[in-house]
Structure formats: structure tokens, C-alpha cells
A and B are shown apart, each in its own frame.
Chain A
């Protein structure tokens, strides 16, 4: 591995650096046009993997939050925060790529009758509020437990939003949108998997790098405090 990549998470970053360009190439030249939507459907290979990665990052954040509440080890709190943070970044990308795709294929930037859009929006809003909560509590054990409890509540929110949106729609709109996901050809599925793996590696790399930065910042602050003798 080149020296520039020899840091925690460097492997993830390197893999994503290989996989994402490969996915772009596959999506652009290899897969056939979608029978229904034509060329524009190719954004699917980025939009859906990014969305799944967002869920994965939030799930990682929630897992670390549970681990924090169990162990009371501040390292889990930092991991949980970084997971939610990277999730929020990917979530923003999902909303952007999703809007572009919606504009091209449905003719609107946002469709309130689509189930997945609504569930995603609820979850995204919820985890955006996480940062407001976290940064208005003073640093320390209280902030860590509050953040952890809030992150965990999101785990209950996901299935319930899916269920609520489904109930509202099956009654208001009798026709249910079917995704074309199941009807994928092999080359489409391959491209999708490559893109998904690339996005996951990118997220893992970002999490590892941000953790490293945050830990370094904490360490610097601690050292400075000791140097100035204010930590007596």
C-alpha cells in the first residue's frame, strides 16, 4: 500500500477509489438501457447504493449508541456520532440524486405519494435534529447519554414510518408503486453491487478518517490543557 494510504481507514478509501470509478464505467458503458426509463435510469446505480449506505451508517451509529449505553465507554460515543454524521452526509446526497432522478423520470422534483421518499425524509429530518441536540448539551457524560438515547429512538422510528406510510397509502391510493428492483438483469445487478460496495467502502473510509481526526483533536486539546496546567 502506498505510504499516503497508510492510515486507519486507508484501505477503505483505496477500495472505494477503485470501486466507484469502476461502477461509474460499468453504469455508463456496460449495462443496457432500462427498457422503461432509458438512459436516465442509470442514476439508479448511484442513488440506491447511496441510500442503502445511509441506512447502514445510521444503523452503525445506533449500534455504537447501544454499545455506549451498555459500556459507558466514550469511544463508542464518538463512533456513534461519526456514524450519524456520515449518514447525514450520504442522506443529503440521496435527496439530491433522488430529486434529479424524480425530475427526469416522473417530471417532478418531489413526489409526496412515493412511500420510500417519505420514509427517508422522516428519518433524515430526525437525524439532522441529532446535531442540534448534541451541540446544545455541554460536553461530558450527559451529552454522550443523551445523544445515544436519541440515536436509539431512531431505530424505533424507521419501521414505524414505513408502516405508517404504507397504511396511509393503501387506503388513500389503492395502487401501490412497484419497484423495478426485482426485475434486474445480471449485468445490472452486478453494476449495482459494485456501486454499493464502493459506497460502503467510501462511508467506512470517511468514518475511519473522521474518527481519526476527532481523536487527534481530543488528544491535542488534552495535551494543551495539561501544558497550560488548567487540568489540575
Chain B
């Protein structure tokens, strides 16, 4: 099961290395989004609250971008049908996709976070460690619910339109906690511990829900 999932994740990563379809677009998109939001709120990004919100809005929308391509290659080449016929646990398909998506998100954030710090915080930023912890925990949650919802959306007629519509409401609690964690990591904040714990709980709840329900998805 874990081996199957790793093999599937490796397949997706290899495809990405060869095609360079998603990650470069994500990088471009996340930086552009930061800049756009900054101008949209008329420079209020220099305030801590606005900056923390911008960071998470940008991460969320960039996640939608890569999730939209999550099942695209498999579908275009008919690999999804083959996967469903293969003698593997369907949860392994889901887990493989989650691992691949988490890697994409990590690469994007490895570039976006430093850029974000440079643009908006300079030396007056929050303590980096809790923010990084929040990013890592949020990645798990975003990939978990994202792949599940992408699995729902990929079989519909309105695929790319539907994904954000389904994904964003589910991710609201995650965003609330992640923004709280970021804000509370500023000097003078009361610490991100509670919000980080919440992110962990969120991940546990939705990982088990996704694990339990995924076998009902991905075609019959």
C-alpha cells in the first residue's frame, strides 16, 4: 500500500520533471498573486495582518492551480482507468497524489516564503520557525482535501470550474488557523501553539475522512 503510493507519487514527480508543466507555473503564479494582492489592497501589505492574509491567500490560490492539473495527465492518457483496474488499494492512488501535491507545494513555498519575507517583512517579521511549521502542516491539509476534491471534480463536466468552488469552503478552517498561527508568531503575539495544534487535528480528521471515502470515488 505505502509502496504503491510511493511508486505513484514518483511517477507524478517524474512526469513533472520531464514536462515542467505545473511547478514553474505555480512559482510564477504565487509571486504574481502576492504582487497583485499587494496593489489591490493599496499598499496596506505593510501591516502585519494584511501581510499574513496575503501570504495565505496566495498559497491557497496557487494550490488550486496545481490541483487543477492533479488528474489531468492521467486522464488525457487514460492512465486513470488502468490505475483503477490495477490490483492496488484505491486509497493508495489518493495517497500517491497527495504526496506528489505536497512536494509541488513545498517547492513553491521554498521560493515564495523567502520572497514574501523580503517583500513585506524585512527584519520586522514573525519568528520563522512557527510559520514554517504552519506551512508544513497546512500543506498536508491542503493536499489531503485538495486531492479528494480534485477526485470529485475530475469526473464532472465542469471540472476546472468546480474544483475551487468545492475546495475553498473546505479550506476555510485551515486558512483561519494558518493566518492565526502566522499572526501570533509576531513579536508580542501569544504564540502559535494552539493554531498549530488545530492544524494537526484538521489533518487527522480530513486524512481519515478522505482515506475512508476515497474508495467510493474514481469511477466504478
Contacts and interface: CB of A to CB of B under 8 A. Distances in A.
Given A133-B156, A148-B216, A160-B205, A167 B180 contact: yes
Given A122-B169, A145-B216, A149-B148, 12 more contacts: A125-B169, A129-B166, A132-B162, A146-B152, A148-B216, A149-B213, A150-B152, A160-B173, A164-B202, A167-B198, A168-B176, A168-B177
Chain A interface residue count: which class? 20 to 34
A161 interface: yes
Contact of A126 (B170, B179, B180): B170
Interface residues of B, number: 38
Interface stretch (A99-107, A151-159, A221-229): A151-159
Contact of B194 (A69, A136, A153, A171): A171
A153 B183 contact: no
A129 B198 CA distance: 25
Interface string B6-47: 000000000000000000000000000000000000000000
A40 interface: no
Contacts of B183: 171-172
Contact of B173 (A125, A141, A164): A164
Contacts of B179: 168
A172 B195 CA distance: 12
Contact of B201 (A133, A145, A163): A163
8 contacts: A133-B162, A138-B157, A145-B217, A146-B156, A149-B148, A167-B180, A171-B184, A171-B190
A153 B165 contact: no
B172 interface: yes
Interface in B165-220: 165-166, 168-170, 172-174, 176-177, 179-180, 183-184, 189-190, 194-195, 198, 201-202, 205-206, 209, 213, 216-217, 219-220
Contact of A136 (B162, B184, B217): B162
B53 to A, nearest CB: 12
B79 interface: no
